[in-house]
Amino acid sequence: MLRATYGNQSVVSVRPWIGRDPMEGAGSRAAASGDADEMRGRAARARAARGVSFAAMRSSLFASVTIVSLCVGATACNRDAPRPDQGSATTVASGTPATTNGEVTVGKPAPDFKAKDHNGAELELSALKGKPVVVYFYPKDETPGCTTEAKDFRDQWKGFEKTGVTVIGISTDNPESHKAFAKHHELPFHLVSDESGAIAKSFGVPNRAGFLSRQTFVIGADGNVKKIYRDVDVSKHVTEVLADLKS
């Protein structure tokens, strides 16, 4: 109620309350409070989502690093570990000027070496002079190409025996591996372990992480190199070598 005086008259006026209904205000305040709660909820959910996303990204990154590490490890494990020089088992004798630094030349003496074969028999290349010798280098026992090559020498052994040749297979595998390889495939010739790679080096044969290149040297009865195979096709190689010995 409002009272006003105009001159000698007093006027009373009854007017409705100016403003919003108290309940309406309460509802607005409640709505505002609800909006704030919703906003806070959304912010909390956003933070949680970012946390989950970060955790997932971190897990993915960790998994990727783990996979890379395993791949590198697997790759490393697939290679032969460097082996210590076993000079007591394999010795490269003093070479002639023609064979220095692995420079093997047809018509010149082959690099001399001393070694034991897979059965423990002593071999010295220079002591075999008077009959032909085949020295062949190969990567690893029991691998497909190396097994094919060894079995071809075995299967044509009667032809090789007629030439009086001594066949010596050389790789970086240890004597136990050679012994098992020879027994498994009934190989009738010598296998020599060149674990230090010294013999291969004297013949100029590359050694890549413990795997020797597949190369063959045909040495005549006079001790001189007769034929060098720097590239070998195992499907026909043994037949070629036998033909060289017969020529």
Shared domain check, 181 and 134 = yes
Please indicate, yes or no, if residue 99 is contained in any of the structural domains. yes
Shared domain check, 192 and 235 = yes
Q: What's at 240, amino acid-wise?
A: E
Shared domain check, 65 and 42 = yes
Of 18, 49, 78, which closes a domain?
Answer: 78
Which domain, by its residues, includes 153? 90-246
Residue 98's pLDDT is: 36
Residue 108's pLDDT is: 96
Q: What angle do CA 129, 134, 137 make, to 5 degrees?
A: 130
Which ranges of the chain have pLDDT less than 70?
1-102
Shared domain check, 145 and 187 = yes
Q: Name the packing angle between helices 144-155 and 237-246 (round to 10°).
A: 40
Residue 34's pLDDT is: 54
Shared domain check, 236 and 128 = yes
Residue 41's pLDDT is: 61
Residue 75's pLDDT is: 34
Residue 83's pLDDT is: 35
Note if the pTM is more than 0.95: no
Residue 103's pLDDT is: 80
CATH, residue 110: 3.40.30.10
Distance of CA 58 to the CA centre of its chain: 28
The residues annotated with a catalytic role in the active site are: 146
CA-based radius of gyration for the chain: 44
Please indicate, yes or no, if residue 96 is contained in any of the structural domains. yes
